[in-house]
Structure 1
Amino acid sequence: MSLTTAELAERYGTPLYVYDLDRVTAARDDLLATLPEGFDLYYALKANPHPEVVRAVREGAEEVCRPEVSSLGELDAALAAGHPAGNCLYTGPGKTDTEIDRAIGLGVREFSAESPSDLRHIGNVASRHGVVARCILRLNIASAGAATGIRMMGRPSQFGIDGDTLAETLPQLLSVPGTTVIGAHFFTMSNAGDEESLLGEYEHVIETAAGLGSDLGLPLELLDIGGGFAAPYAVPGNRTPYPKLRAGLADLLDLHLPQWRAGQPRIACESGRYLAAECGSLVSRVVNVKEGSGGPFVVLDGGINVLGGLSGIGRLLPAAVQLDPGLRPAGRGTLVGPLCTPGDSLGRNVQLPALAPGDLVTIPNVGAYGLTASLVHFLSRPAPAEVTLRGGEVVSATRLEPRRTPVGDGR
């Protein structure tokens, strides 16, 4: 018998993350059906590295779903979820020799190189291991100018090799010892709510990649065209549909890379938010209600320490309460957490029910960028429990436990 939210909260305490693994599988299947047949799909573990969530992305689609990791912790999570190390794509602009060494030692062979020096670091470590790392070059090119979503290309940043330098640098990049360049990696935008804009970005990327292959000799064994698929964050709603994307992408590839259906190149997309967002809810308990000017202020037992939304870089997004059965909207107020900082706000002037200490509230669509995008160590409060469900039944119940461990000689 499936447990209710109240029963889960009573059993595991609050604040509590609940991940419905059936929703992860459904999101994956929907996205694969949205993409042309033959695409690979990388799951970006930064969205949610919980091993059961990662496992739910993989199971039943092992041949096409692969992990994209950018830390040793994410690599460990991918391996714990059953992914072979050889299926992992290791990304990120600041890979250290230590982490590259361990990744290669575990069997990782594919890397996204963000700069010429990053490629050399990968090659140096690979050479010490006596192996060759297969690398795609992340390229930072001028974007097509989509109107929606968060821009990821076309401006100076730590991400990607500047496209206007590639003609000059490519011969050196193709000859870095310990590496072989097998393709290109683009990431144009994030959370694109407009399908036409997303298709426009993909057209720009595919046409650019084809031109770099024919004009400069850039190898194109693998082309990762990025993601951008949208899903709501901490507010009610559903993932954005893209009904024209499958046919539109196939037409673009037929035009610019006509051998793609035969696997030349292998085409991949990546996603984190779209695959994980809808699976997760945060259940929190009201600990205090302060009435007064500007009120009420509803204080929960979890704040930006459990739902930070990358608050440290100014991307805290407003949250909405999903009403529990029997609770009715009563007016507007401010939803805050228990931390000793005025920044611990989950929503200002949001619609709230009449709430009292002890009541439960549920914030939906936080399966992506939830716990691990939060200030989980701030004020040394305990991390929330994380419960995974399949068919309404509990699969796992765990808690991240921060602890100090000795380093070096321990002094």
Structure 2
Amino acid sequence: MSAPAEAEPRSATRAGETVLPVPLEELAGVPTPAYVYDVAEVRRSQAQLRASLPERTGLYYSLKANPHPALLRTLRAGGARPEVCSTGELAAALEAGWAAGEVLYTGPGKRDEEIADALVRGVRFFSVDSPHAIEQLSRIAGERGAVARCLLRINDDEPVPGQGLAMTGVASQFGADTSWVLAEPARFANRPHARVVGLHLYMGSNLCEVDDLVGQFTRSLRTARSLGDVLAAHGVRIEVLDLGGGFGAPFAKAGKVPDLRALRPALETLFDEQIPGWRDGGPEVVFESGRHLVGTAGTLLTAVLDVKRSHGKDIVVLESGINHLGGMAGMRRLPPLNPALVAAQEPLLEGELTALVAGPLCTPLDTWARGARLPALRPGDLVAVPNVGAYGLSASLVAFLGHPLPAEAVVDSDRPGTPPEISRTTLIRQGVID
């Protein structure tokens, strides 16, 4: 893992007013460190995104963003379907109340055992990335007397400008290159027990501008039309177009989900041009979202363990570090960590710090920020990190050095005064750790 980048200074404000979803007093029984999830914010984000997409389109929730049961139940109630890519995520989806027939099972490589487990549980819809993956799915489904439906994931030949995290146009484990499918379409056709029913085109991630989203969906649909024509000659009928998503959200900094209301009319026009009959029973168009639906619903609340001076710098040591938040940032799969830190109660001391903020791990890599502007803090004070509902606890380095796991607490800001629901960590429930 590379050393964290130098942080830009961040200003602190009262978390009770601007960050925590409920007053701090209502969290008095929650042990720290804790991830606090607000299901009301999940409902709001889901409703806003649903209103930004055309009618007659479907929406999948990518469990990789956060598989907490309360969030899953909220999203299921709002009409989302589950997209999973592991046995643990599948179990979480089924436990949350989704039927196996609603599940889309994705991932660039699947072991025979996990495919078999999914089929036994009733899953019949998979994303596949190669001819081998189609053969593998057909073989295992045939052994169980089943026929699976599958989406052929495509890695387009060029990336689309404006992507936050490129998922196509580069050498990748995800999908089959467009040029490969065009050159050898027969290899991507139906098998006896695996029927190719559509295309999976996930171009990029964390896009916050409507124009960037429209650009990637336009490219996806042009690619889909050329592939559909070639595959049709080999018996493949496109019934589903999964356009992925890439809908952005702030991570570990202040802000709200981007306003995407202008996306709906732009997509309706685009679909009318590119997808004949989509309004009247033509191919079903579906989208995927993770961070946009739950990112702003989570706050990490953590205590100050120590405050000191070292070589002329203020040092603040917290209960939480890269073991609880930001482990993936070191793999460059998320933006550099550099979180906004906000005092969770009115500071008792006067003054301000410009501090290096570190966690409790026995490594100099455990650094969140090097120039964070904070109120004067003392051991025992609380700080909060906003907008970490996605890629927070479940994407962290919790096994490194064996520190205790954060608690997870669920609140509903639409129901003030309701006691928080404190639960066992999702990672334990999924069997990731004992």
The TM-score, its normalising length taken from structure 1, stands at 0.92
**1:334 paired to 2:356:** yes
| 1:397 to partner: Cα distance | 1.3
Q: After TM superposition, where is structure 1 displaced by more than 6 Å over at least 4 residues in a row?
A: none
**Which residue does the alignment assign to 2:9?**
none
CA distance in 2, matches of 1:177, 1:394: 54
Would the aligned equivalents of 1:320 and 1:351 in 2 still touch at CA under 8 Å?
no
Within 5 Å, which residues of 2 pair with 1:131-146?
131-143=146-158, 145-146=160-161
Label 1:299 to 1:219 Cα distance change in 2 as closer, same or farther (>3 A).
same
In the alignment, the residues of structure 1 paired with residue 50 and residue 338 of structure 2 have an alpha-carbon distance, to the nearest angstrom, of 30
Q: Equivalent of 1:238, from 244, 256, 266?
A: 256
Instruction: Report the CA distance between 1:6 and its aligned residue.
Output: 4.8
Deviation string, structure 1 residues 344-385 (Cα, Å, up to 9, x no partner): 112221221211100000100000000000001111112111
Residue 376 (structure 1) aligns with: 398
Q: Any idea what the Cα deviations from partners look like across 1:245-285, whole Å, max 9, x if unmatched?
A: 10111111100112111231000010000001010000000
Q: Percent identity?
A: 43
For 1:140 and 1:256, locate their aligned partners in 2 and report how far apart those are by CA, in whole Å. Answer: 20
Preserved contact between residue 157 and residue 177 of structure 2 (Cα < 8 Å) = no
Structure 2 gap ranges (5+): 1-20
d(CA) in 1 for partners of 2:163 and 2:240? 27
**What one-letter code is carried by the residue in structure 2 that aligns with 1:44?**
S
Q: Given the alignment of the two structures, is residue 318 of structure 1 paired with residue 338 of structure 2, yes or no?
A: yes
2: distance between equivalents of 1:294 and 1:339?
A: 22
Q: Which amino acid aligns with 1:37?
A: E
Cα–Cα, structure 1 residues 200 and 402, in superposed 2: closer, same or farther, change >3 Å?
closer
Instruction: Check conservation: 1:148, 1:193, Cα contact below 8 A.
Output: no
Unaligned runs of 5+ in 1: 406-411
Question: How do residues 4-403 of structure 1 correspond to structure 2 at under 5 angstroms?
Answer: 4-8=23-27, 10-61=28-79, 65-143=80-158, 145-217=160-232, 218-293=236-311, 295-314=313-332, 315=334, 316-327=336-347, 330-390=352-412, 391-392=415-416, 393-394=418-419, 396-400=421-425
Q: How many matched pairs?
A: 399
Distance 1:290 1:219, change over 3 A: farther
Change (3 A) 1:300 1:181: same
Cα 1:101–1:247 change in 2 (3 A) is same
Q: CA RMSD in A?
A: 1.9
Q: Counterparts of 1:129 and 1:194 in 2: how far apart (Å)?
A: 45
Name the CA distance, whole Å, in 1 between partners of 2:196 and 2:231. Answer: 13
Question: Per the alignment, in what secondary structure is the counterpart of residue 405 of structure 2?
Answer: coil
Tell me how far apart the structure 1 counterparts of residues 98 and 278 of structure 2 sit (CA, whole Å): 26
Q: TM-score with structure 2 length normalisation?
A: 0.88
- Contact 1:69-1:75 at 8 Å conserved across structures: yes
Paired with 2:392 and 2:195, the residues of 1 have a C-alpha distance of: 36
Does the 8 Å CA contact 1:143/1:201 hold for their aligned counterparts? no
Name the amino acid aligned to 2:315: F
Do the aligned partners of 1:34 and 1:242 also contact (CA within 8 Å) in 2? yes
1:294 is displaced (CA, Å) by 5.5
8 Å contact kept, 1:220–1:264:
no
Contact 2:181 2:188 in 1 (8 A): no
Decide whether aligned partners of structure 1 residues 329 and 149 sit closer, same or farther in structure 2, where only a CA change above 3 A counts: farther
SS in 2 for 1:356: coil
CA contact (8 A) 2:153 2:174 kept: yes
Greater length-normalized contact order (CA 8 Å, ≥ 6 residues apart): 2
Letter in 2 for 1:106: R
- Tell me, yes or no, if the aligned pair for 1:143 and 1:204 is still in contact at 8 Å: no
- How far residue 80 of structure 1 moved from its aligned partner, in angstroms, is 1.2
SS at 2:411's partner residue?
strand
Distance (Å, rounded) in 2 between the aligned partners of 1:132 and 1:396: 41
